[in-house]
Copies of this chain bind each other. A is one copy, B any other.
Amino acid sequence: MSPLTLTVDAPSHSYPIFIDTHLQAALARELAQYCSRKAAIVTNTTIAPLYLEQVQAACKTAGIDSFTIILPDGEAHKNWETLNLIFDGLLQNHAERSTTLIALGGGVIGDMVGFAAATYQRGAPFIQIPTTLLSQVDSSVGGKTAINHPLGKNMIGAFYQPQAVFIGLDSLKTLPEREFAAGMAEVIKYALLGDVEFLSYLENHMDAIQAQDAQALRHIIGHCCQMKADIVAEDEKEHGRRALLNLGHTFGHAIETEMGYGVWLHGEAVAAGMVLACRLSEQLGNISTADSQRAIDLIARAQLPVDAPTFAFATWLEHMQHDKKVVNGEMRFVALQQLGAAYMVKGITAADLRTVVPHA
């Protein structure tokens, strides 16, 4: 299968996404051109035994002097303490402002290493090598970097674009089923927020996708990356349309933060959050119960949770008020105008929410 190259034309910086059957092939072809002569490979304890050697070898072949920083795995570690391990490693190895940070791993690694790159010596270059479906279709593209704060997910971060993104479809073979499903939540998100034909595609090819058919994987990853690239080119810093990519995320972040980071996977929380966004859209009179059911069925077929956990209503509200979309104290939600067309809805009241979220 031929490799695919997309371009993210972000206003601050334009860069390629290389999608290839084999990660090693893409690295062999392109790494030398996008990486400095010195690189820090940052990964975690789960990914290191699987792919680190490959990336180290690719660096060596390309004449890049690399060293490695290995972090603990999981959303629970997406915090300042772990970020500081990156800074420690960079300084101990005399990393310079021009040293390239290579993020090798899933969304947590990509977000954290991107933020480390954005802030190390006020900005070092970085490369994304996403190894999970979620990071390949969503978090590695577009330059959102962040760590969590105990009071809110991704509250501390920066918009900072990578030099290049390298996606190997072969990395998905080692991905646990639960993680693959979590990635599918973001794939379904793209369909629901902006492309009803893609929704049909997913309905028609869910079995092939679940079986990790290479053609189907390349199609969905390429399609999601292209949608993301188009949105980021238009609205890099989320002043408008980019916020629609947060479909299901306001509810999802509340679930993740309240349950404790890492208890629900991000994709799982987004899945249940999208169902709540559908319910809200129903209540606004935009979509029918049958439309919601179509979304719920697809989410369930992707092995994802459709029911959010039950919290006290005040707990839901407290989390909503910490959301990054709040403006002048007013809560904003991404809702559906119809399946395949999201919009930003303002002026949602506590009373509106009360009928949507499961509360005691």
Contact = CB atoms under 8 A, between A and B. Distances in A.
A62 to B, nearest CB: 16
A120 B146 CA distance: 10
Nearest to A38: B328
A158 B96 contact: no
Interface string A193-212: 00000000000000000000
A329 to B, nearest CB: 7
A87 B121 contact: no
A155 B97 contact: no
Interface in A114-142: 115, 118-123
A157 B122 contact: yes
Interface residues of A, number: 39
Given A158-B118, A328-B37, A151 B88 contact: yes
Interface string A150-172: 01100111110000000000000
B324 A149 contact: no
B80 A84 contact: yes
Contacts of A290: none
A321 interface: yes
A144 interface: yes
B96 A122 contact: no
Interface string A28-42: 000000000110000
A322 B327 CA distance: 41
A12 to B, nearest CB: 9
* Candidate in A84, A122, A155 with the most chain B CB atoms within 10 angstroms: A122
A96 B320 CA distance: 12
A76 interface: no
A326 B152 contact: no
Nearest to A97: B324
A92 interface: yes
Interface string A67-84: 000000000000010001
A237 B122 CA distance: 9
A329 B97 CA distance: 11
Contacts of A121: 155, 157, 324
A226 interface: no
Interface in A290-327: 321-322, 324, 326-327
A119 B145 CA distance: 10
A345 interface: no
Nearest to A118: B158
A98 interface: yes
Contact of A91 (B80, B118, B151): B151
A155 B94 contact: no
Interface of A: 37-38, 80, 84, 87-88, 91-92, 94, 96-98, 115, 118-123, 144-146, 149, 151-152, 155-159, 237-238, 321-322, 324, 326-329
Given A87-B155, A94-B321, A96-B326, 12 more contacts: A87-B149, A88-B151, A91-B155, A96-B329, A115-B119, A118-B158, A119-B157, A120-B156, A122-B237, A122-B238, A123-B158, A123-B159
